[in-house]
Amino acid sequence: MKILVCLKQTFDTEAKIVLDGNGKIDRKGVSMIVNPYDEFAVEEALKIVEKDGGQVTVISVGEQQAQDALRQALAMGADDAVLVDAGDKELDEYSTATILAKAISGMEYDLVLGGFRAIDDGSAQVAGRVAEILNIPVVNVVTKLEVAGGKAVATREIEGGNEVLEVSLPAVITAQKGLNEPRYPSMKGIMKAKKKPLAKKTLADVGLDDSQIAPKVKAISFSLPEARQAGKVIPGEAAEAAAELAKLLREEAKVI
Amino acid sequence: MAKGIWVFAEQLGGQIKKVSFELLSEGRKAADTLGEELCAVLVGKDVAGLAASLGEYGADKVYVVDNAALENYSTDGYTNVIADLIKQYEPSALLLGCTVTGRDLAAQVAQRMQTGLMTDCIGMEVADGQLVFTRPIYAGKVIVKACVPDARPAMATIRPNTFPVASNAKAAEVVTVDANVGEVRQVVKEVIRVASERPELTEADIIVSGGRGMKGPENFKILEELADVVGAAVGASRAAVDAGWIAQSFQVGQTGKTVSPVLYVACGISGAIQHLAGMSSAKCIVAVNKDEEANIFKVADYGVVGDLFDVVPILKEEVKKVIA
């Protein structure tokens, strides 16, 4: 079983975000992590090959710094990694999916895993787009996965419950929290990861030129949200405060 | 020449989702400004009877695809049908609710149409003849305005509760369309509905949420009782989910669900940055917490410093009184 895991390096969830002089998001000095949802995907891939044998390749579209994220996945136990460096070009989900799909189409795979969304731009569409380009089925927001006999049986969150879907492989499956508990890389894993293969490719290496990855979405402006103002603290003992709160919600805020 | 702003009229079991009416209400204004038609796309089995209700909210036209194979949502079936319709009628925009289904469908359709998609938007305006969408990124720490300048349809998913519902009665023209469902590669083995009378978390008008201060799974009953008085959903912070007190599907925050209710009542939630990221677009936030220094008070419109086990049961009774 050959499993590809699409992985994105994102800002740490604790990161404070500022805009630079051009009104763009300032990436300087921000600590970077593996997108937590992609960690679920890496963990799931490792569990599958530990049980059934196979190989796990992690792949990312990013700048050179994204190697750190790939190394972390290698330290968790992935076998090898591919980084497609598109330079500092503006990419949207269409661009990223086009690059990933093109790189993947030149590789052998039975299963493609990824997080259902990244915590930075949170767009939750790259994996689905990759499936569409590769013309293989996708199942999103999966919390349980079983792979056997050339099929995947995936439990996904739907409104008010879950549904269990079966797809033939190869397929794209996106991970939701709850799928598993990602392991921490061991010291030994970290040492081994340094020697595992990490292929660095350019757009030209995967057979794309700039015109093919031109974004469809144009960002017009970035801004920081207005901070919410602290409102009023309602004084008094529980009974008194609760009564006043109910009244305010009804009469002042008009929300109940 | 691409023409028409389309709204995906999402329905479940013969009920159109409120978010679809919200999108039609706001889409009506945009369509008028741009001089375009507003159309709803209704897909399912035995759904034709729902078409008239879409006119109530401003649709000029309703495209109906009624097919037994579309009774339940499937990624492939719905993608095939919507993409077929788009190819046939070439709309300039397609709006969907940012729901489980809307999000799943939008990505597939966008790629098949080779177009741009802005997800989880919280605003829409017309500028320079374009639809411009506002979306929070980095879990709400940054707001971006974006558009799809050239590709069509421009696509967006919009968070429920973003726009008010406004009735704008039109006798919508109903156009019944045959569309090819095609092969559905996702085979449904089982559907497990968790019986709940409460609304879906991401679509609820009111959410009552509990955190570490709940102290145990049994205590969520207190929140449920308050929730049921006002028809609210119940949510939780990561601390409560990680402690195993409540299922992951109830988690609000950066690694859970993003919600935009009218009222969010945070009980025993300290207000970690990751939690705030998931709920700070709520119109009104109430915090009940013993710790007066808790971060949650910095964003709350109304705060009560006190023990939730004392406050919440009384609040339930007081709310009953004021809404009676």
pLDDT tens, N- to C-terminus, chain A (256 residues)? 999 999 999 999 888 889 999 999 998 889 999 999 999 999 999 999 999 999 999 999 999 999 999 999 999 999 999 999 998 899 999 999 999 999 999 999 999 999 999 999 889 999 999 999 999 999 999 999 999 999 999 999 998 889 999 999 999 999 999 999 999 999 999 999 999 999 999 999 999 999 999 999 999 999 998 888 889 999 999 999 999 999 999 999 999 9
Residue A149 φ/ψ region, left for φ over 0, alpha for ψ in the -120 to 50 degree band, beta for the rest: left
| Contact list, B240 vs chain A (CB under 8 Å) | none
| Contact list, A177 vs chain B (CB under 8 Å) | 248, 251, 255-256
**A196 domain-assigned:** yes
Q: How far apart are CA B88 and CA B82, in angstroms?
A: 10
Residues 49-88 of A with CB under 8 A from B: none
CB B38 within 8 A of CB B5: yes
Q: How far apart are CA B283 and CA A228, in angstroms?
A: 10
Q: Does the beta-carbon distance from B186 to A237 stay under 8 Å?
A: no
Chain B interface test: which of A17, A136, A254, A256 (most B C-beta within 10 Å): A256
**Residue A198 at interface with chain B, using a CB cutoff of 8 Å:** no
Say which DSSP state A31 is in. -
Q: Where are the domains of chain B?
A: 5-176, 201-323
Q: How far apart are CA B14 and CA A68, in angstroms?
A: 49
Q: Which residues pair with A168 in a beta bridge?
A: A151
A9/A58 same-domain check: yes
pLDDT for residue B1 = 41
Q: For the domain B201-323, what is the CATH code?
A: 3.40.50.1220
Residue A229 φ/ψ region, left for φ over 0, alpha for ψ in the -120 to 50 degree band, beta for the rest: beta
By C-alpha distance, the chain A residue nearest B197 is: A160
Residues 135-164 of A with CB under 8 A from B: 137-141, 143, 153, 157-164
A107/A194 same-domain check: yes
CATH number belonging to the domain at B5-176, selected among 3.40.50.620, 3.90.1150.10, 3.40.50.300, 2.30.40.10:
3.40.50.620
Please tell me the total count of domains within chain A: 2
Helices (H), chain B: 18-34, 51-55, 75-89, 100-112, 220-230, 238-242, 273-279, 308-323
Q: H or E element: which one contains B285?
A: strand B284-289
Could you write out the DSSP letters of every residue in B22-67? HHHHHHHHHHHHHT--EEEEEEESS-GGGHHHHHTTT-SEEEEEE-
Q: Does a cis peptide bond (omega within 30 degrees of 0) precede residue B164?
A: no
Looking at CA atoms only, how far is residue A27 from chain B in angstroms?
A: 12
A165/A248 same-domain check: no
CB B86 within 8 A of CB B153: yes
CB pairs under 8 A between A and B: 266
Q: Where are the beta strands (DSSP E) in chain A?
A: 2-6, 9-11, 32-34, 55-61, 80-85, 111-115, 138-148, 151-158, 161-168, 171-175, 198-202, 218-223, 232-233
Quote the ipTM score: 0.95
Token couple for B59: 């649709």
**A221 domain-assigned:** no
Q: How far apart are CA B80 and CA B73, in angstroms?
A: 12
Q: How far apart are CA B58 and CA B54, in angstroms?
A: 7
**A139 domain-assigned:** yes
A251/A202 same-domain check: no
Q: CA-based diameter of chain B, in Å?
A: 63
State which residues form the domain around A246: 231-256
* Residue in A119, A166, A250 nearest the CB of B322: A250
By C-alpha distance, the chain B residue nearest A215 is: B116
pTM of the prediction? 0.94
Q: How far apart are CA A82 and CA A84, in angstroms?
A: 6
Q: Does the beta-carbon distance from A165 to B297 stay under 8 Å?
A: no
Q: How far apart are CA A174 and CA A5, in angstroms?
A: 10
Three-state DSSP state, A166: strand
**A113 domain-assigned:** yes
A198/A135 same-domain check: yes
By C-alpha distance, the chain A residue nearest B315 is: A242
By C-alpha distance, the chain A residue nearest B194 is: A161
Q: Does the beta-carbon distance from B142 to A223 stay under 8 Å?
A: yes
Looking at CA atoms only, how far is residue A161 from chain B in angstroms?
A: 4
**A102 domain-assigned:** yes
Say which DSSP state B257 is in. B
Q: Does the beta-carbon distance from B108 to A120 stay under 8 Å?
A: no
| Contact list, B256 vs chain A (CB under 8 Å) | 177
Q: Does the beta-carbon distance from B196 to A132 stay under 8 Å?
A: no
B295 Cβ contact list (under 8 Å, min separation 6): B270, B271, B272, B273, B276
Instruction: Give chain A's radius of gyration (CA, Å).
Output: 22
Q: Does a cis peptide bond (omega within 30 degrees of 0) precede residue B153?
A: yes
pLDDT for residue A227 = 81
* Residue in A125, A223, A250 nearest the CB of B143: A223
**A20 domain-assigned:** yes
Helices (H), B231-272: 238-242
Closest CA to B184 of B83, B100, B43, B80: B80
By C-alpha distance, the chain A residue nearest B319 is: A246
A70/A119 same-domain check: yes
CA angle at residue A240 from A237 to A242, to 5 degrees?
Answer: 100
Same fold, B5-176 and B201-323: yes
Token couple for B177: 């369309």
A194/A250 same-domain check: no
| Contact list, B296 vs chain A (CB under 8 Å) | none
Per-residue pLDDT of chain B (324 residues), as tens digits, is 458 999 999 999 889 999 999 999 999 999 999 999 999 999 999 999 999 999 999 999 999 999 999 999 999 999 999 999 999 999 999 999 999 999 999 999 999 999 999 999 999 999 999 999 999 998 888 999 999 999 999 999 999 999 999 988 888 999 999 989 999 999 999 999 887 789 989 889 999 999 999 999 999 999 999 999 999 999 999 999 999 999 999 999 988 898 999 999 999 999 998 899 899 889 999 999 999 999 999 999 999 999 999 999 999 999 999 999
A208/A236 same-domain check: no
A209/A235 same-domain check: no
CA distance between the termini of chain B:
54
CB B89 within 8 A of CB B4: yes
pLDDT for residue B2 = 52
Q: Does the beta-carbon distance from B274 to A166 stay under 8 Å?
A: no
Chain B interface test: which of A100, A159, A179 (most B C-beta within 10 Å): A159
Q: Does the beta-carbon distance from A248 to B323 stay under 8 Å?
A: no
A154/A41 same-domain check: yes
| Contact list, A217 vs chain B (CB under 8 Å) | 116-118, 146-148
CA angle at residue B85 from B82 to B91, to 5 degrees?
Answer: 100
Q: Does the beta-carbon distance from B190 to A238 stay under 8 Å?
A: no
CATH number, position A155: 3.40.50.620
Q: Does the beta-carbon distance from B314 to A253 stay under 8 Å?
A: no
By C-alpha distance, the chain A residue nearest B264 is: A255
Looking at CA atoms only, how far is residue B13 from chain A in angstroms?
A: 12
Looking at CA atoms only, how far is residue B181 from chain A in angstroms?
A: 15
A70/A139 same-domain check: yes
Q: How far apart are CA A150 and CA A110, in angstroms?
A: 8
